Amino acid sequence: MKKLVIATRRSRLALWQAQHIAGRLQAAHAGLSVELLPMSTRGDELIDRRLDQAGGKGLFVKELENAMSDGRADLAVHSMKDVPADLPPGFVLAAITAREDPRDALVCSKYKTLGGMPKGATVGTSSLRRQSQIVERHPGLEVRLLRGNVDTRLAKLDRGEYDAIVLAAAGLTRLGLEARITARLDAEEMLPAPGQGALGIECLAPSADILALLAPLADAASAACVRAERTVSRALGGSCTLPLAAFAQMTGNRVRLRALVASSDGKRVVRSELEADAADPEALGNQVAQDLRRQGADAILGR
């Protein structure tokens, strides 16, 4: 193939991610032309509601998949935390690249930590996962809805609409906004979303030529961790309506997977942690999901 077209959302972060992948592809394959097809998605347009109320993670990817289906694009680049656990028939995640910092980040000019914020202080996020973990540990804080792209969210903080906000550290780093990070929240304080910090490249299957072009960009360790995390999500329903976190780390040929399910008010939380050989990350993900179910995850999720 001499030319590829990448479908991407129009946000500054999405464009950075697509341009990053385009640059890596051109560096790996001399003579390859890569163009971007920027698009607006329903997830970008519906900024007054949480995603679980508006239709879920698929709102960020449907238009991009339509562009691939009708031949306008060859592939799409996604933040893996925005990709539904189950792809539509005919699509495949062709590559997962090396992961950026998977942690969440506190952004705040007044306070250094969540624990140092006074009762009644407001924290902005659109994530049920973040909300449940914040209120579990810091019940005196008020978590309020915050939607929009990274720049929009930072602008709302700077206008004083929130005392602090929580964003993915990876997105801030990629946009050159690392200096805005007040504190990186370790997994013990805020377990990340499945796939957070990793980029995924989606295409139609089978696309043997595209798979061959993407092979140099794939990172096996990151892919194994993300597959384990996404399996937990898939086994428990696979939707952003779930206050669910999952985070895997690889050491040698072993994967350690931690996950939790929580009620949105943070009053009911179940956690699981298991380790297994990296050869079958999906099996590990299913074991963790089963352990969460044994502890009452289904009841927390209203099933």
Among 24-38, 39-53, 167-181, 194-208, which is the least confidently predicted range?
A: 39-53
Q: Using CA atoms, how far apart are residues 24 and 97, in angstroms rounded to an integer?
A: 11
Is a pLDDT exceeding 80 seen at residue 50? no
Active-site entry in 44, 82, 101, 163? 82
Name the pLDDT band for 112 (thresholds 50, 70, 90). Answer: very high
Each domain of the chain, given as residue ranges in start order, spans: 3-97+198-218, 104-185, 234-300
pTM above 0.75, yes or no: yes
Q: What is the pLDDT of residue 242?
A: 75
Angle of helix 12-28 relative to helix 150-158, nearest 10 degrees?
140
- For 120-129, b/e burial (b = at least 16 CB within 10 A) is ebbbbbbbbb
Q: What is the mean pLDDT of residues 20-48?
A: 85
Is a pLDDT exceeding 50 seen at residue 53? no
User: What are the tens digits of pLDDT across the range 56-73?
Assistant: 455 678 899 999 999 999
Q: Is 82 a catalytic residue?
A: yes
- Residue pair 185/197 in contact (Cβ under 8 Å)? The answer is no
Topology agreement, domain 104-185 and domain 234-300:
no
User: What are the tens digits of pLDDT across the range 195-244?
Assistant: 999 999 999 987 889 999 999 999 999 999 999 999 999 999 866 567 89
Percentage above 70 pLDDT, the chain: 92
CATH architecture of 3-97+198-218: 3-Layer(aba) Sandwich (3.40)
Among 34-38, 54-58, 164-168, 274-278, which is the least confidently predicted range?
A: 54-58
Q: What is the pLDDT of residue 47?
A: 53
CATH class of 234-300: alpha beta
Q: Using CA atoms, how far apart are residues 86 and 121, in angstroms rounded to an integer?
A: 37
- Residue pair 201/23 in contact (Cβ under 8 Å)? The answer is no
Residue 49, number of CB atoms within 10 A of its CB: 12
User: What are the tens digits of pLDDT across the range 232-277?
Assistant: 999 998 665 678 999 999 999 999 999 999 998 999 999 999 999 9
List the CATH code of the domain at 104-185.
3.40.190.10
Strands 122-124 and 142-144: parallel
Distances (CA, A) of 221 to 25, 86, 198, 235, 279: 20, 21, 11, 22, 10
